[in-house]
Structure 1
Amino acid sequence: MGDTGGTGVRAAANETPLRGRVAVVTGAARGVGEALARRLSAAGMRVALLGREEETLRRVANSLPSESVCMEADVTDCAALDGAAQQVDAQLGPASVVVANAGIAVGGPFSRTSADLWQRVIDVNLIGAANTARSFLPQLMCTRGYFLQIASTAAFGSAPLMSAYCASKAGVESFARALRGEVDPDGVTVGIAYLHWTGTDMIDGLDDHPVLRALRRNQPWFARRVHSPAQVADWLTIGITHRAHHVYAPPWLRWCQPLRPLFPPLVARITRRELQTRSRVELEADVAVLGAGGRADWNSFLTATNPQFRSRD
Structure 2
Amino acid sequence: MPTSEPTPRLALTTGEPAGVGPDLLLRLAQQPIAAQRVAIGNPALLEQRARQLRLPLRIVTFAPDGPRAPTPPGTLELIPVPVAAPVHCGVLDPANAEHVLTLLETAAAGCIDGLFDAMVTGPVHKEVIHRAGYAFTGHTEWLAERAGGCRPVMMLTAGSLRVALATTHLPLRAVPDAITPALLEEVITILDHDLRSCFDIDPPRIAVCGLNPHAGEHGVLGTEECSVIIPVLDTLRARGIDLRGPLPADTAFTPRALAEVDAVLALYHDQGLPVLKHAGFGRAVNVTLGLPFIRTSVDHGTALDLAGSGSADPGSFLAAEALARELVVRRRHAGPDPVARGPRAGT
TM-score, structure 1 length as denominator?
Answer: 0.34
Return the index of the structure with the highest Cα Rg. Answer: 2
